[in-house]
Structures are given as structure tokens and as C-alpha cells.
Amino acid sequence: MTDPMRIRASLTGDTVEVKVLMSHPMETGLRKDASGKLVPARYIKNVKASCKGKDVLTADWGPAVSKNPFLAFRFKGGAAGEKVTVTWTDTAGESRTDEAEIR
């Protein structure tokens, strides 16, 4: 089960600033648990953000990104009331999509 992302998109002038907070353990595969066993790697490997069916951001991530990652980016061409959709996919094949309205 995945927890919802928190997405905020605000329009200033002609630029939309998007802030995304994702809930994910981002295990590197290098950490050991209390009994000394390696915790298997599991991290977000791909992030995609789109607006009006058009990709505004794609990112390939690795194990160096922190737990519960915070991502902020800007793009042009969005208008208030439109929706920004963000999707992440992790190494376990799990994926989560959430959206937010531009304000």
C-alpha cells in the first residue's frame, strides 16, 4: 500500500511552481536491520509530472535520494484551475499517481 503524495501547485506570473512531498522508504539496499541482515533495496526510480496530458518533468532517480523525498520544480504554460499530475514508480514495480489543481 502506498500513501498519498502531497502536491501543491501555485501560479506566479506565467510560471507554475510545483512542490511534491512523497511518502516512500527509499531503501538503498546497503542498510542492515537490527539482526544484521541487509534490507533489500527499494527506491523510486522514475518520477513523471504532466499537465494537460503533456509531460512537464521526467526524472530518473537512484538510491541517493532521501527518504520521504521532497521535489520542487517550475514550468511554464500552466493556468489556474488546470491539474498537475505526478506519478512515481519504484524498483518493486509499485507506483502511485496523485494530482493537484493549480492555484
Partner 1 sequence: MRLKIGKLTFWLTIVAGAGTSLAGSLVWAQTAPDPVAEYRAMFGDDNPAVLWTLRGQDLWKEVRGSKHVSLAKSCDLGMGTGIIKGAYAHLPRYFADTKKVQDMESRLLTCMVDGQGMDKAAILKNRFGEGDRKSDLEALAAYVVDASNGVAISLPLEHPEEKRAYALGKAIFFYRAGTHDFSCASCHGQVGKRIRLQQLPDLAGPGKDARDTYATWPAYRVSQGEVRTMEWRIGDCFRQQRLPQLKYGSEAAIDLTMFLAKNAEGGKMAAPGLKR
Q: Are 38 and 31 in contact (CB under 8 A)?
A: yes
User: Does 32 engage in binding with partner 1 (CB under 8 A)?
Assistant: yes
Out of 66, 76, 81, 93, the residue judged to bind partner 1 by CB under 8 A: 66
User: Does 48 engage in binding with partner 1 (CB under 8 A)?
Assistant: no
User: Does 90 engage in binding with partner 1 (CB under 8 A)?
Assistant: no
Cα–Cα distances in Å, from 79 out to 5, 16, 93? 21, 8, 33
Out of 70, 74, 77, 103, the residue judged to bind partner 1 by CB under 8 A: 70
User: Does 41 engage in binding with partner 1 (CB under 8 A)?
Assistant: no
User: Does 103 engage in binding with partner 1 (CB under 8 A)?
Assistant: no
Give the CA-trace dihedral at 73, 21, 56, 90, to 10 degrees. Answer: 130
Number of residues binding to partner 1, judged by CB under 8 A? 16
Cell of 76: 511554464
Helix (H) or strand (E) holding 87: strand 83-90
Please identify, among the stretches 29-37, 48-56, 78-86, 91-99, the one whose residues bind partner 1 according to the rule CB under 8 A. Answer: 29-37
